[in-house]
Amino acid sequence: MSMMKEQYDVVVIGAGGAGMTAALQASELGASVAVLEKEAKAGGNTNRASSGMNAAETDVQLQHRVTDSMTAFYHETFQGGGRLNDPAMLDFFVHHAPLAIDWLAARRMPLTSLTITGGMTKPRTHRPQSTAPVGNYLVKGLLARLKEKRVPVFTNSRVSNLLTNDHRITGVEVDQDGHLQTIQTKAVIVATGGFGANAKLISRLRPDLSGLKTTNQPGATGDGLQLAEEVGAAVRDLPFIQVHPTVQQDQPHAFLIGEAVRGEGAILVGQNGRRFINELATRRVVSNAIFALPEKSAYLIFDQSVRERAKAIDFYCHVGLVKQADSLTELGKTIGIDGGQLTATVQNWNQIVEQHQEDSLKRTTGRHPLKKGPFYAIHVAPAIHYTMGGLHTDPQTRVLDANGQPIAGLYAAGEVVGGLHGNNRIGGNSIAETVVFGRQAGIQAASDLRDCE
């Protein structure tokens, strides 16, 4: 393992997708870089991302004969965010997403399969060819590329303070396994993720969400917000907290069931065995529909063909989250739902799909028949998933103060930043955000360093 030096050109706080992307990009541009991660292993919430990475007008889409446009991607994300997204951030994001797909491919992390998520009208969610969960795939790839570039990733290394002089970043104080050290640097990239695991802060900001479980890893506590605020950073949109509709919570650990399961054809039914919502509406809409059910939970119903198209289901089965039966009638008995009604619901869905009929619940995407046994069910309910609010930055990732002025040498990328998603994030936009703005943070930090020379 590398020894921590006293000085680096760039210090990245957080070894999730955004942080490692930023570190790799800055290193490629000639900067000396260190990544500081407070947890015992790298990956953060990126390790838990499953569905994919959104981008429009990509070469991958052309290969799949998908006609898409950045304009549509912008509009659907803007609508999905309650029209509260920062327009400049969203415009930068949409136009740089296809470049980010190419950037990953050039670094041996190709995303060549497509699926669709709620709120989107086109398959623009890029994932590995194996259809495996995108997050762990990218974490492994980024760690490997950083190792090749000899960029150190220091785990168990918590940054306790950002150091400044005359409103300019000069260094960080870090606690590595109880050993305190000061690192001198002219550029700090905050990539610490959101605060979805900070129950106290969520309860203060959103009392209505108190008591909900979270899909987040324990380290998602909002440390980066506090670090940056202490040196004058402004924040925005903190009450915008997303609840994900499909989370398996019957075990002590809450497991997010990725949107790709619905994107590949799964339906949702209530305890009465009937569908109740367009399963690929936005997360806010689907979550509210589940909360409105008497039981405040639902079942994802799907068949073997969906399992074959969404490989994350293999993991869900492995950890015991999935009920299985050879027939829908038997599946209904297994999960305590009338088997006859469940069978009728699926038969009606199959008829809608196969005869190209209009769905009374207005589902127009991810329409696949459910006919191939065995059949499966996963019990789900909404849980805290993503914090849309965070640090106020410009599209170039420069952290702004209360007057809207950049704090020299301070950058941020990923979930720690607010503004991009409005009041609701679209599935597949988080991984895209980490790569798009992680790259930009690395580029901006390296560029500003050159300008200072």
CA dihedral 349, 351, 352, 357 (to 10 degrees): -170
Residue 364 and residue 193: Cα distance in Å, rounded? Answer: 33
348 & 401 share domain: no
Assess if residue 18 is contained within a domain: yes
Q: Which residues make Cβ contacts (< 8 Å) with residue 411, sequence separation at least 6? A: 22, 187, 188, 189, 190, 393, 397, 398, 399, 441, 444, 445
pLDDT of residue 451: 84
User: Could you give the 3-state DSSP secondary structure of residue 189?
Assistant: strand
Q: Which residues of 4-42 are buried (b: 16+ CB within 10 A; e: fewer)?
A: beeebbbbbbbbbbbbbbbbbbbbbbebbbbbbbbbeeb
304 & 380 share domain: yes
20 & 161 share domain: yes
> Which of 326, 353, 384 lies at the terminal end of a domain, its last residue?
384
pLDDT of residue 2: 77
Residue 301 and residue 368: Cα distance in Å, rounded? Answer: 12
> Which of 384, 406, 427 lies at the terminal end of a domain, its last residue?
384
143 & 77 share domain: yes
173 & 302 share domain: no
35 & 150 share domain: yes
Assess if residue 228 is contained within a domain: no
% of the chain surpassing 90 pLDDT: 97
Structure tokens given for 442: 């690395």
User: Could you give the 3-state DSSP secondary structure of residue 68?
Assistant: coil
Domain CATH code at residue 133? 3.50.50.60
Domain CATH code at residue 258? 3.90.700.10
> Which of 335, 367, 384 lies at the terminal end of a domain, its last residue?
384
Beta bridge partners of 154: 36
Q: Which residues of 281-305 are buried (b: 16+ CB within 10 A; e: fewer)?
A: bbbbbbbebbeebeeebbbbbbbbb
Assess contact for 156 and 150: CB atoms under 8 A.
no
Outline where 355-453 has alpha helix (H): 429-452
10-13 and 187-190: which strand pairing? parallel
Assess if residue 220 is contained within a domain: no
Assess if residue 26 is contained within a domain: yes
Q: Which of 145, 262, 283, 307 is catalytic?
A: 283
72 & 184 share domain: yes
Whether residue 252 has a cis bond before it, omega within 30° of 0: no
Assess if residue 204 is contained within a domain: no
Q: State the residue range of the domain holding 96.
A: 10-195+388-452
346 & 418 share domain: no
Assess if residue 34 is contained within a domain: yes
Active site residue 283: yes
102 & 21 share domain: yes
179 & 268 share domain: no
427 & 404 share domain: yes
301-351 per-position pLDDT tens digit: 999 999 999 999 999 999 999 999 999 999 999 999 999 999 999 999 999
pLDDT of residue 363: 97
Q: What are phi and psi of 294, to 5 degrees?
A: -55, -40
- Judged on CB neighbours under 10 Å (0-12, 13-18, 19+), 342 is buried
pLDDT of residue 1: 56
Assess if residue 350 is contained within a domain: yes
Q: How many domains does the chain have?
A: 2
Q: What is the pLDDT along the chain (453 residues), one digit of tens a residue?
A: 579 999 999 999 999 999 999 999 999 999 999 999 999 999 999 999 989 999 999 999 999 999 999 999 999 999 999 999 999 999 999 999 999 999 999 999 999 999 999 999 999 999 999 999 999 999 999 999 999 999 999 999 999 999 999 999 999 999 999 999 999 999 999 999 999 999 999 999 999 999 999 999 999 999 999 999 999 999 999 999 999 999 999 988 899 999 999 999 999 999 999 999 999 999 999 999 999 999 999 999 999 999 999 999 999 999 999 999 999 999 999 999 999 999 999 999 999 999 999 999 999 999 999 999 999 999 999 999 999 999 999 999 999 999 999 999 999 999 999 999 999 999 999 999 999 999 999 999 999 998 876
Assess if residue 100 is contained within a domain: yes
Nearest partner of 367 among 74, 123, 52, judged by Cα:
123
50 & 128 share domain: yes
